[in-house]
Amino acid sequence: MTETFDPRALAARLHSLRQAGRQETTSTFTLPADLHQAMEAQTFLTAADGISSNAWKVTVSPQGQAVTGPLHPYVEAASGASIPWYPGLKFETEIAVRLGKDLPIRAGVPYSRADVVEAISAVHLGAELLVSAVRESGSIAFLLFLADRLGNSGYVLGPKIDKSVVDTAGGTPLKVTHAGRTIYDGPAQHPKGDVLTWLVDYANDGLRPETSLKTGALITTGTLSGAIELTEPGEIDILFGDVRLSFLVSKAD
């Protein structure tokens, strides 16, 4: 790319496309050259979107670098949740954890999984909604997708569940219906097997912000159902073992 990368300009374009419920192809964007540029653009997009919730998703880049993005709009099902529907919207059942103590950047001995579990004060059933302003999402340019908040377009925090679920989520019966039709019925399966893999990776990332992984932060840990496209608005009902989460995906104004 001969064009100079401008993180503010990329963020403004992503924000505008998201507001309009539109997508453009990767080839029409000036791409971030590295993780730093992508995160700069994500920070400007977060400001443009007016995001203030301390709720985050974690995943890894194709090169294995732990990355994060804010969840927005973030709602709690107990207060009557509704998330806007856009064409191309996808849904994932997830487990979210809330930190009861800081996990500061650590030099020397890395955090173990047990260290991370010890820092968790609560575990919840949750649902992530995804639609990127980038038509191909991250399949062509992951850094562009990272700038676009990793495609997040909403999160619904469901009921609190037993903390032991971080060890036992895989294989738990999971059934999801949307607008009265079953869209998933099978065992819960995380892409890495362990729902905490990406959080442990991120905790041990020396490049993450000093302000990350503080007490009170909510982190969602990755899909248990794959990413399922929602072809229309309608109610989502999730039954994870004997725990239920229901919310509405409604047509955007």
Cross-strand pairs, 184:
176
CB 243 within 8 A of CB 125: yes
Mean pLDDT of the chain, nearest integer:
94
Map residue 114 onto helix, strand or coil: helix
pTM of the model: 0.94
Instruction: Kindly state the average pLDDT of the residues 97-124.
Output: 96
pLDDT given for residue 1 in this prediction: 44
Residues 62 and 225: their CA atoms lie apart, in Å, by 20
Q: Above 50 in pLDDT, residue 2?
A: no
Give the residue, 4 or 98, on which the prediction is more confident. 98
Cross-strand pairs, 186:
174
For a pLDDT cut of 90, what percent of the chain falls above it? 90
pLDDT given for residue 77 in this prediction: 86
Q: Return the DSSP state at 10.
A: H
The amino acid that residue 117 corresponds to is: V
Q: Count helices and strands (H / E) in the chain.
A: 6, 13
pLDDT given for residue 79 in this prediction: 64
Name the strand (E) or helix (H) holding 45: helix 35-48
The amino acid that residue 17 corresponds to is: L
Q: Above 60 in pLDDT, residue 34?
A: yes
pLDDT given for residue 67 in this prediction: 94
Q: Is 43 left (phi over 0), alpha (psi -120 to 50) or beta?
A: alpha
pLDDT given for residue 53 in this prediction: 85
pLDDT digits (tens, 9 = 90+) for 36-85: 999 999 999 999 999 998 999 999 999 999 999 999 999 998 767 889 99
Residues 69 and 192: their CA atoms lie apart, in Å, by 19
Instruction: Kindly state the average pLDDT of the residues 11-24.
Output: 95
CATH class of 53-251: alpha beta
pLDDT given for residue 237 in this prediction: 96
